[in-house]
């Protein structure tokens, strides 16, 4: 089975590898099941071992050295370099994984990384039968693949459960093909929920302590009712073996992906057309927020469905009735929503909560935003620079050239970041531009000084800046004032 590694670090700074492998938790009742045997007997026939073949090319022979003109060996070497003497032999490699049948017609779900690059895919059942599979569709972002096998009989299949109902401490069970040992059972509990291991944009894994190993990837994670609540996908391990930390894709996240792959052969995700970032504690303080919930709008695509409705600096609190507790919730919620649906988006704008309706578009590549024209004025006083942690001035033709900035970009130029300041620690550097202060666009140093003066007079300890780097990438940064 192919393993994918993610570098994770322990408290002792030991690097661990996250391997994408199917994983197995177990089913729970209040006291725990006396035996899993009845469930195993019922569910094993619907779980398959996935074997794949990949073909690479192996070149036979060796490279000949370059020879001087008229060398007596040149004719001989040229003969061996002709097509008849250049042999390439196919090199076959095999890998193993797991999967599960979701309907009687032979539709199978597994991980994308299990079948990636495969030229042949076979599904083996517990009764010894073996069927060739074809790919209906794959989604790399969630690591899900849907396959199809043809059978003369109706195949046993699993039932989907509700992964949102799985609580920490619930028993779970996994069936899979670890190290090619098909039909292996393991059990454990739900150790945690909503885990983000930085493997993709929609990470929301169920964590389990059930033993899983290479070859379990793509297999099902069942609850005690015999329903699939997850797709076993990854583990944290030093060696590739189980350490009791495994991750499973929640089936509620997987279901719309699976349906779209069956219907369209691809995913069709909703799209808001905005760029967002996390709300740090400093940013929350600068906005007067009691917590770091929400997603801060960093940019609005002029060709996207949110243009003219959402604005840069809006704090999105709810999407389609679902609270945004952290920034990464929003892309997942949007992706799970049907294209064309009109959704209610609740935002806080300049301290006031507003609700807008937006019709979702189809996820597409966003384009960079163009800047506005600038209005240059005077440099700030020294004392203010020390309070901010950087020195700034109006944009001019000369300093634009010095820092490689286009002539039509806007804002106020940062010319020096002071050592050991909050600004320096947060990555503000010479050549960056301030384009907003406390969600107010600025085009001159005079405007910046005025807004900062107001913030200081009202007793604010933190100001919210929107910073643009020389390339044009923008982000919000909350700076503590050094009074």
Binding site, annotated residues for substrate:
113, 143, 215-217
The answer to whether 272 and 304 have CB atoms below 8 angstroms apart is yes
Residue 92 C-alpha from the chain's centroid: 32
Beta-carbon contacts of 414 under 8 Å, excluding residues fewer than 6 positions away, are 390, 391, 392, 428, 429, 430, 431, 432, 433, 434
3-class state of residue 329 by DSSP = helix
The answer to whether 17 and 237 have CB atoms below 8 angstroms apart is yes
Taking the C-alpha atoms of residue 89 and residue 58, their distance in angstroms, rounded to an integer, is 5
Comparing CA positions, the residue from 142, 32, 43, 52 lying closest to residue 97 is: 52
Q: Please say if 113 is a catalytic residue.
A: yes
Taking the C-alpha atoms of residue 145 and residue 260, their distance in angstroms, rounded to an integer, is 11
Taking the C-alpha atoms of residue 465 and residue 388, their distance in angstroms, rounded to an integer, is 11
Of the listed 51, 95, 98, 113, which one is catalytic? 113
Taking the C-alpha atoms of residue 166 and residue 159, their distance in angstroms, rounded to an integer, is 15
The count of other CB atoms within 10 Å of the CB of residue 4 is 17
The binding site consists of 113, 143, 215-217
3-class state of residue 232 by DSSP = strand
Q: Please say if 217 is a catalytic residue.
A: yes
CA angle 40, 45, 51 (to 5 degrees): 115
Taking the C-alpha atoms of residue 166 and residue 160, their distance in angstroms, rounded to an integer, is 13
Q: What is the DSSP letter of 471?
A: T
Of the listed 191, 217, 421, 444, which one is catalytic? 217
Q: What is the DSSP letter of 81?
A: T
Residue 249 C-alpha from the chain's centroid: 12
The answer to whether 439 and 297 have CB atoms below 8 angstroms apart is no
Q: Please say if 164 is a catalytic residue.
A: no
Of the listed 139, 143, 329, 374, which one is catalytic? 143
Q: Active-site residues: which are they?
A: 113, 143, 217
């Amino acid at each position: 089975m192919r393993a994918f590694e993610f570098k994770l670090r322990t408290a002792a700074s030991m690097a661990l590898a996250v391997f994408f492998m199917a994983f197995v938790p177990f089913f729970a009742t209040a006291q725990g099941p006396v035996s899993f045997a009845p469930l195993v007997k019922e569910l094993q026939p619907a779980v398959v071992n996935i074997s794949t073949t990949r073909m690479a090319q192996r070149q036979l022979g060796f490279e000949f050295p370059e020879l001087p003109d008229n060398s007596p060996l040149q004719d001989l070497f040229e003969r061996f370099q002709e097509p008849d003497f250049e042999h390439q032999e196919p090199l076959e490699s095999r890998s193993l994984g797991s999967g599960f049948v979701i309907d009687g017609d032979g539709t199978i779900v597994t991980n994308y990384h299990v079948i990636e690059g495969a030229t042949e895919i076979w599904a083996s059942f517990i009764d010894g039968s073996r069927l060739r599979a074809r790919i209906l569709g794959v989604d790399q972002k969630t690591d899900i693949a849907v396959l199809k096998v043809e059978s003369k009989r109706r195949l046993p299949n699993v039932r989907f459960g509700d992964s949102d109902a799985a609580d920490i401490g619930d028993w779970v069970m996994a069936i899979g093909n670890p190290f090619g040992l098909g039909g292996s059972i393991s059990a454990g509990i739900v150790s945690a929920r909503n885990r983000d291991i930085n493997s993709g944009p929609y990470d929301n894994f169920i964590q389990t302590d059930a033993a899983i190993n290479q070859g379990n990837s793509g297999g099902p994670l069942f609850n005690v009712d015999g329903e699939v609540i997850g797709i076993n996908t990854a583990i944290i391990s030093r060696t590739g073996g189980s350490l009791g930390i495994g991750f499973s894709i929640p089936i509620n996240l997987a279901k719309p992906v699976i349906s779209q792959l069956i219907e369209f052969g691809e995913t069709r995700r909703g799209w808001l057309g905005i760029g967002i970032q996390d709300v740090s504690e400093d940013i929350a303080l600068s906005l007067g927020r009691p917590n770091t919930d929400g997603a801060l709008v960093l940019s609005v695509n002029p060709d996207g469905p949110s243009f003219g409705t959402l604005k840069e600096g809006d704090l999105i609190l709810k999407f389609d009735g679902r609270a945004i507790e952290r920034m990464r919730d929003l892309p997942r919620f949007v992706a799970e929503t049907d294209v064309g649906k009109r959704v209610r988006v609740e935002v806080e704008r300049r301290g006031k909560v507003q609700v807008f309706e937006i019709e979702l578009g189809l996820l597409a590549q966003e384009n960079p935003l163009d800047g506005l024209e600038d209005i240059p004025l005077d440099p700030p006083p020294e004392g203010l620079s020390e309070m901010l942690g950087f020195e700034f001035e109006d944009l001019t033709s000369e300093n634009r050239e010095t820092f490689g900035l286009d002539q039509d970009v806007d804002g106020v130029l940062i010319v020096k970041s002071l050592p050991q300041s909050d600004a320096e620690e947060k990555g503000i550097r010479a050549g960056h531009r301030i384009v907003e202060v406390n969600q107010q666009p600025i085009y001159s140093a005079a405007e910046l000084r005025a807004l900062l003066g107001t913030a200081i007079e009202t007793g604010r300890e933190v100001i919210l800046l929107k910073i643009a780097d020389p390339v044009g990438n923008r982000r919000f940064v909350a700076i503590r004032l050094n009074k």
